[in-house]
Every structure is written in C-alpha cells, then in structure tokens.
C-alpha cells in the first residue's frame, strides 16, 4: 500500500535555526493523523513541506508516493488549509466557490453549496465582512470540496466555537468514511484529535518524539504508583518517561510492551492528553531510560 506520508531525515533550516530536524516517518494511507506539539515545534513546517509550498533543506519526503508539488496531478491529490484559514477578503462566498471549481478538476460543487447552505453563509457575503469563524468554515469547505485523496489541515478549528468544531469534525469523519479520505490535522485541542484521529505524531523542538497508532500507543503507556524507588533500579523492560516522588511513594509514566506483574505497583492507563503532555514535557536531549527484559516481575 502506498504510504500516506514518508520522510527520511527530513529537515528545514531557516538561517541558523532548524525548524524541522531529522524527521523520519512512515504513515500508512487511510489514516486520520493528529499532529501535535508546542508552538514552534515544526508542525506548520512539516505540513508546508508536505504540500510543496516550501522545499526541504535536507532529507526526502514523499506524499501518496509522489514528490510534493511536483505537478498538476500531484497537486490535485492533496488539499491544504493553511494556518489562519486564508481566503480572499474582496471575494464573496459564491466567488470562492466559482474559483474552487475552476482550479480543481475534482471539484464537488454540490457538496460545497450544500455545506455553505447548512452553515447559513450568504453566498453574496464578502470574506472581508465575515467573522473569523465564518472565514474558517469557508476555507474548510474549499478544502473538502476539492475532493482530494489527502487533506492537510493546519489548526483548522482554532477559531471555531465548540459547536462549530463538532460539526466540522462530523463532516470530516463522514468524508473519510464515504470517500476513503486520508487526513493530517495539526491542533492544540487534544480532545478534538481524540475524537477524530487514529494515528498520532508528536513534535517537540523540531523533532519527532512519538509516532504511531493511537490505540497501540495508549495500550503501551501506563502510570505506575508504588513504593519510592530510584528509576534506575527498576526491572528491565521499561522506558521511564517521567518520575515524581514523595517521601514514601513514586509515580512513574512508563512505556512497555510487556504486562505489569509486580503487585507492589498499581498501573493505570493514560488518556491521550496525558500521553501528549508527557512527551511534550520531556527535554529533547533527555536520554531514554530503556531496559531489555520482556516483563516487570
């Protein structure tokens, strides 16, 4: 199966600063990918490189098996809504739909007009007269109505109210189910990612620190509570991600493929927000605490 997104040592440098460094990913097609990380982590850089609007400084990237922005056929397969939901202030809603139809060979005019009607947007209203939320909905409509194989969204719901966010995510999931649409979506709203996504990529300080299917990631991360200990003295088979201690008790967040069998430890699952915040809270240069045995005994 053609990979949705494949990178090898991908990097982008602006003057003396790496906005993205040594990024290696293999994301299968058919996924809805949540891209998350703090401001300045490299999320927008990765998305813009993937759609071909900026060239990489180092490494390679393929999207749907092709080079980003390599020609009309590749451009038609990928939709992109950039951060800030860019639209043309002087053009009306109807103008935007006509422009979308002229520029995109796979344009679905029925979908676009139905969505505009359901959102209650006046076709004669100019984008410059709209609220931020209305402009975001218009940009999102243009992205979906292009009918791409892959839709990339950079903070698509940041300016929407909770009800509008829910409606958009429902529309997105319907498009995924009906047309086999793949999605890469960056967001700071982890609850939205949890509702919509099945694959997670976490960027911190321009580097990928976590990548995988959400279900598998949640199954292999745990919070352990037990007697105070030095993490270095723990049995093998654990990667210790964080540790906190009181006088008598230690609380650890760990990653392991093996079952937790020691009765001295109480293991509880992490939710997606716990998981993301754990990795975002680690120092990028922090060495992994990896051990090699298969189980905690």
pLDDT category at 180 given cuts 50, 70, 90 is confident
User: Closest Cα to residue 42, out of 12, 80, 78?
Assistant: 12
pLDDT category at 188 given cuts 50, 70, 90 is confident
Exposed, middle or buried: residue 274 (CB in 10 Å: 0-12, 13-18, 19+)?
middle
CA–CA gap between residue 250 and residue 296 (Å, rounded): 16
Which domains are present in the chain?
Answer: 3-214 (3.40.50.300), 220-290 (no CATH)
pLDDT category at 1 given cuts 50, 70, 90 is low
pLDDT category at 295 given cuts 50, 70, 90 is very low
Using DSSP's 3-state secondary structure scheme, residue 22 falls into: strand
Edge-to-edge strand list for the sheet holding 3-14? 17-28, 3-14, 58-63
H/E run at residue 194: helix 190-196
User: Closest Cα to residue 221, out of 162, 155, 289, 274?
Assistant: 274
Mean residue pLDDT across the chain:
87
39 has pLDDT over 50: yes
Mean pLDDT, residues 232-256 taken together: 88
258 has pLDDT over 90: no
Q: What is the pLDDT of residue 170?
A: 84
């Amino acid at each position: 199966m053609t990979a949705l997104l494949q990178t090898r040592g991908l990097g982008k440098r602006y003057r003396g600063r790496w906005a993205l460094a040594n990024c290696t990913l293999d994301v299968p097609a058919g996924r809805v990918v949540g891209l998350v990380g703090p401001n300045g982590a490299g999320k927008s850089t990765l998305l813009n490189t993937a759609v071909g609007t900026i060239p990489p400084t180092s490494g390679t990237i393929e999207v749907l098996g092709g080079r980003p922005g390599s020609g009309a056929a590749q451009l038609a397969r990928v939709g992109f809504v950039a951060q800030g939901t860019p639209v043309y202030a002087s053009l009306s809603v109807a103008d935007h739909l006509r422009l979308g139809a002229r520029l995109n060979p796979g344009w679905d005019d029925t979908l676009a007009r139905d969505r505009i009607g359901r959102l209650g947007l006046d076709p004669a209203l100019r984008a410059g007269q709209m609220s931020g939320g209305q402009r975001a909905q218009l940009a999102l409509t243009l992205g979906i109505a292009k009918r791409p194989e892959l839709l990339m969204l950079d903070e698509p719901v940041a300016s929407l109210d909770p009800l509008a966010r829910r409606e958009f995510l429902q529309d997105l999931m319907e498009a995924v189910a009906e047309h086999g649409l793949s999605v890469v979506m960056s967001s700071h709203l982890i609850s939205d990612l949890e509702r919509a996504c099945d694959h997670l990529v976490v960027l911190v300080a321009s580097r990928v620190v976590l990548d995988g299917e959400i279900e598998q990631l949640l199954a292999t991360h745990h919070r352990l509570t037990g007697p105070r200990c030095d993490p270095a003295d723990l049995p093998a088979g654990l990667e210790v991600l964080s540790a906190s201690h009181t006088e008598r008790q230690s609380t650890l967040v760990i990653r392991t493929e093996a079952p937790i069998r020691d009765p001295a430890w109480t293991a509880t699952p992490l939710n997606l927000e716990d998981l993301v915040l754990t990795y975002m809270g680690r120092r990028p240069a922090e060495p992994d605490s990896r051990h090699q045995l298969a189980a905690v005994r």
